């Protein structure tokens, strides 16, 4: 391949050819995912930090259903966290968290964490690659999108990017990813905006202008040429270095913690005044098919180590930002491509499953456990999944609206569908009214009769008015039927569900009305 062709097909339009403290760093402009939330840059200086948990996090051992502890323990007797070791959350009796997550517990009790139960999407895909693509692009399970969910917004706000950038209003990268691989999330309208090539340059070497030495070989000469091209194409290196140079002292971070090292870089750049809207960091190892816990103590082991790293890293990050007086700029969230099954396997692990909890944190984040503890069967089978309560795209839409101040009228176009608005961020952030509607969680909003049923059952639901949805899922999380998806007047309604031809077993009826949702169990028998 000719040198010109090599650069054409491998060098992105704008990358930072450096390593930050050992992590490859990518500065993205028109990246569909990472520059997603830049549209509100002219209105505020808000930042979102996304923490990707690669491999499929076991949500049931991270956020533990205390009010269904008997079913939880029976379903996973070989890995269940002992009830007495579960960390309690202020004001919560039904939900606790893994004992390794003391940092998150303290942040929650201080009023700066939202925990969302059972986040997923209809008919989940259990392939790591495809599921990750779905989460990063915001697509349906059966749709492949060429752009990321945020890229669709970016294209409407900055249709001419990168022409004319950087400029006085936006001299910095629109988004930065640290320590990750090229992803479909970075696919722009015509070219891949991900980093296709990297250099072996340490971040602090970048600050001191000390790149790694180039070998005196033919390959070294090619590397020197590539670095020259990268230097010319990287319009943002100067602003990144200037921002980092403004911060000479940071708070302590846990040692030997890969995620903490990444978040330390983010804190430095945020505190240094970089206008970058969104950062992506990641931690791997969550594909825990075997040896998820130690046999002698289920509160220890591989999964506990990972959760402990997340908790301590996030706590150190938020403490550092507070010390640097920049914590009010940042909201963070965790996500994973899928969860794990209800029932553990015989290898002291868990297999690929459907929905899982998410954690959102920040000074303006509402303190809450959103949703009910997951519905669990009396006797879990190997195929049982946690039924979805919240669509992950509702989280994206809510952050766009409440943190980045995107107009609600624009959200449907950006997200491609109308997703429920979740009360994640305090209304002071954008003047958006937030807060959970005053609904008694013991009030039945959806039910069916007869239950069990053999062929047909009548589903009754009560809506407060507005957009209303009723969906039927199987235990694999697959969307069986969408019975209702329309604007209703307030009142009581019924609809007949015909289950003829469906296998006997358990099904879940999910009701959604604005910010309110409820999941009920249905049984089909002969």
**What does the alpha-carbon distance between residue 485 and residue 482 come to, in Å, rounded to a whole number?**
7
User: Residue 4 in 3-state DSSP?
Assistant: helix
Tokens of 336: 């994973």
- In this structure, what DSSP letter does residue 82 have? P
- In this structure, what DSSP letter does residue 66 have? G
**What does the alpha-carbon distance between residue 315 and residue 93 come to, in Å, rounded to a whole number?**
23
- In this structure, what DSSP letter does residue 168 have? S
Task: Check: CB of residue 271 under 8 Å from CB of residue 324.
Answer: yes
**What does the alpha-carbon distance between residue 490 and residue 467 come to, in Å, rounded to a whole number?**
10
43-430 and 446-524 share one fold: no
Tokens of 142: 């059966």
Q: Which residues contact 372 (CB under 8 A, 6 or more apart)?
A: 94, 117, 389, 441, 518, 519
- Domain spans, the chain: 43-430, 446-524
State the DSSP string of 330-347: EEEEEEES--B-SS--TT
Q: Note the CATH number of domain 446-524.
A: 2.60.40.1930
Range 453-484 burial, b when 16+ CB lie within 10 A, else e: beeebebebbbbeebbbbbbbbbebebbeebb
Long-range pairs for 267-270: beta carbons < 8 A, 24 or more residues apart: 267/317, 267/320, 267/321, 267/324, 267/326, 268/243, 268/244, 269/176, 269/240, 269/243, 269/244, 270/47, 270/321, 270/324, 270/326, 270/329, 270/330
User: Residue 173 in 3-state DSSP?
Assistant: coil
What is the value of pTM for the model shown? 0.83
State the DSSP string of 60-92: HHHEEEGGGHHHHHHHTTTTPPPGGGSEE-TT-
**What does the alpha-carbon distance between residue 470 and residue 512 come to, in Å, rounded to a whole number?**
6
Alpha-carbon distances, residue 105 vs 100, 220, 435, 501 (angstroms): 10, 50, 21, 47
* Closest among 94, 67, 64 to 79, alpha carbons compared: 64
* Closest among 409, 399, 517 to 464, alpha carbons compared: 517
Checking DSSP bridges between strand 23-28 and strand 390-391, what pairing results, if any? unpaired
Beta bridge partners of 416: none
* Closest among 24, 26, 5 to 234, alpha carbons compared: 26
Alpha-carbon distances, residue 380 vs 66, 71, 478, 522, 524 (angstroms): 17, 8, 17, 15, 16
pLDDT given at position 490: 95
* Closest among 35, 12, 36, 16 to 25, alpha carbons compared: 16
**What does the alpha-carbon distance between residue 448 and residue 299 come to, in Å, rounded to a whole number?**
39
pLDDT given at position 409: 78
Q: How many residues make up the chain in this entry? A: 526
- In this structure, what DSSP letter does residue 36 have? G
**What does the alpha-carbon distance between residue 120 and residue 358 come to, in Å, rounded to a whole number?**
10
State the DSSP string of 357-379: EEEEEETTBPPEEESPPPP--SS
Q: One digit per residue, pLDDT tens: the chain, 526 residues? A: 333 333 333 333 333 444 445 555 555 544 444 444 443 333 578 899 999 999 999 999 999 999 999 999 999 999 999 999 999 999 999 999 999 999 999 999 999 999 999 999 999 999 999 999 999 999 999 999 888 876 676 666 666 666 676 777 767 777 777 765 544 443 445 433 322 223 323 444 445 555 556 666 766 666 665 554 354 346 667 788 888 899 999 999 999 999 999 999 999 999 999 888 878 889 999 999 999 999 999 999 999 999 999 999 999 999 999 999 999 999 999 999 999 999 999 999 999 999 999 999 999 999 999 999 998 899 999 999 999 999 999 999 999 889 988 887 788 888 989 899 999 998 888 866 555 555 566 789 999 999 999 999 999 999 999 999 999 998 888 899 999 999 999 999 999 999 999 999 989 999 999 878 899 999 999 8
- In this structure, what DSSP letter does residue 419 have? -
**What does the alpha-carbon distance between residue 349 and residue 342 come to, in Å, rounded to a whole number?**
11
* Closest among 513, 361, 395, 415 to 119, alpha carbons compared: 395
Could you give the angle at the alpha carbon of 201 between the alpha carbons of 197 and 206, nearest 5°? 120
CA 233 to chain centre: 31
Residue with tokens 């990144």: 240
- In this structure, what DSSP letter does residue 421 have? P
Which CATH number is correct for 43-430, 3.40.190.10, 2.120.10.80, 3.90.950.10, 3.40.720.10? 3.40.720.10
């Amino acid at each position: 391949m000719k040198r010109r062709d090599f650069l054409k097909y491998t060098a992105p339009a704008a990358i930072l050819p450096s390593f930050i403290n050992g992590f490859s760093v990518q500065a993205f402009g028109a990246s569909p995912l990472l520059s997603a939330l830049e549209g509100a840059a002219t209105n505020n200086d808000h930042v979102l930090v996304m923490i990707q948990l690669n491999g499929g996090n076991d949500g049931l051992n991270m956020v533990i259903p205390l009010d269904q502890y008997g079913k939880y323990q029976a379903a996973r007797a070989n890995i269940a966290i002992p009830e007495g070791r579960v960390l309690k959350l202020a004001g919560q009796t039904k939900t606790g968290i893994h004992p390794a997550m003391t940092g998150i517990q303290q942040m929650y009790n201080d009023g700066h964490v939202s925990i969302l139960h059972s986040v997923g999407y209809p008919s989940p895909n259990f392939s790591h690659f495809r599921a990750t693509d779905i989460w990063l692009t915001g697509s349906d399970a059966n749709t492949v999108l060429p752009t990321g969910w945020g890229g669709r917004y970016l294209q409407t706000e900055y249709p001419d990017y990168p022409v004319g950038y950087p400029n006085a209003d936006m001299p910095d990268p629109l988004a930065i990813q640290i320590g990750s691989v090229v992803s479909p999330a970075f696919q722009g309208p015509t070219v891949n905006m991900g980093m296709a090539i990297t250099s072996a340059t340490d971040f602090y070497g970048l600050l001191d202008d000390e790149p790694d030495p180039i070998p005196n070989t033919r390959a070294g000469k090619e590397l020197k040429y590539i670095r020259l091209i990268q230097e010319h194409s990287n319009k943002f290196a100067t602003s990144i270095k200037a921002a980092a140079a403004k911060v000479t002292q940071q708070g302590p971070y846990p040692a030997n913690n890969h995620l903490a090292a990444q978040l330390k870089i983010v804190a430095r750049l945020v505190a240094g005044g970089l206008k970058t809207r969104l950062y992506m960091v990641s931690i791997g190892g969550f594909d825990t098919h075997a040896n998820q816990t130690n046999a002698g103590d289920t509160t220890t082991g591989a999964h506990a180590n990972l959760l402990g790293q997340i908790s301590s890293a996030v706590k150190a990050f938020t403490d550092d930002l507070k010390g640097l007086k920049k914590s009010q700029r940042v909201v963070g969230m965790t996500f994973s491509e899928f969860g794990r099954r209800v029932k553990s396997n015989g290898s002291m692990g868990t297999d690929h499953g459907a929905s899982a909890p998410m954690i959102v944190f920040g000074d303006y984040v509402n303190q809450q456990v959103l949703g009910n503890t997951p519905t669990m069967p009396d006797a879990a089978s190997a195929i049982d999944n946690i039924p979805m309560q919240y669509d992950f795209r509702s989280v994206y839409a809510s952050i766009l609206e409440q943190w980045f101040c995107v107009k609600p009228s624009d959200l449907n176009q950006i997200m491609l569908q109308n997703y429920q608005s979740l009360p994640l961020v305090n209304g002071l952030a954008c003047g958006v009214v937030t807060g959970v509607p005053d609904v008694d969680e013991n009030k039945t909003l959806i039910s069916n009769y007869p239950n069990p049923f053999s062929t047909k059952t009548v589903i009754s639901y009560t809506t407060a008015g507005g957009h209303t949805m009723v969906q039927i899922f199987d235990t694999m999380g697959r969307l069986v039927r969408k019975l209702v998806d329309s604007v209703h007047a307030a009142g009581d309604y019924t609809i007949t569900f015909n289950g003829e031809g469906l296998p006997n077993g358990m099904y879940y009826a999910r009701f959604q009305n604005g910010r309110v949702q409820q999941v009920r169990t249905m049984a089909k028998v002969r």
